[in-house]
Amino acid sequence: MESADFSKAECNASLSRDVFLTKTERSILENPDLPIDFIQDVLIAKVSDRSLAELFTPE
């Protein structure tokens, strides 16, 4: 049973990685003026837990 769960989790991780890479590639093509690291950070932030976000306060 555990090996089936591990296999399913591994498949889901692979699928998630593929989806992330596809979104990253599409965003890079749509925004060639933005740095790749910035695009990746934005995509990661969009799926991250909102409670971890820091409030932006302009100076």
What's the structural domain count of the chain? 1
* Residue 54 lies inside a defined structural domain of this protein: no
- Distance between CA atoms of residues 1 and 52, nearest Å: 34
Residue with the larger pLDDT of the pair 37 and 59:
37
- For residue 17, the model assigns a pLDDT of 81
* Cα separation values, 27 from 19, 30, 43, 45, 48, Å: 12, 5, 9, 14, 18
Vertex 44 angle, CA 43 and 46, to 5°? 65
* Residue 52 lies inside a defined structural domain of this protein: no
pLDDT bin (cut points 50, 70, 90) of residue 59 is: confident
Residue 11 lies in domain: 2-47
* Residue 34 lies inside a defined structural domain of this protein: yes
* Residue 41 lies inside a defined structural domain of this protein: yes
- For residue 11, the model assigns a pLDDT of 53
pLDDT in tens, 4-57: 555 555 555 666 888 888 888 999 999 999 999 998 888 888 887 777 778 888
* Residue 57 lies inside a defined structural domain of this protein: no
- For residue 12, the model assigns a pLDDT of 55
* Residue 53 lies inside a defined structural domain of this protein: no
Radius of gyration of the chain (CA): 16
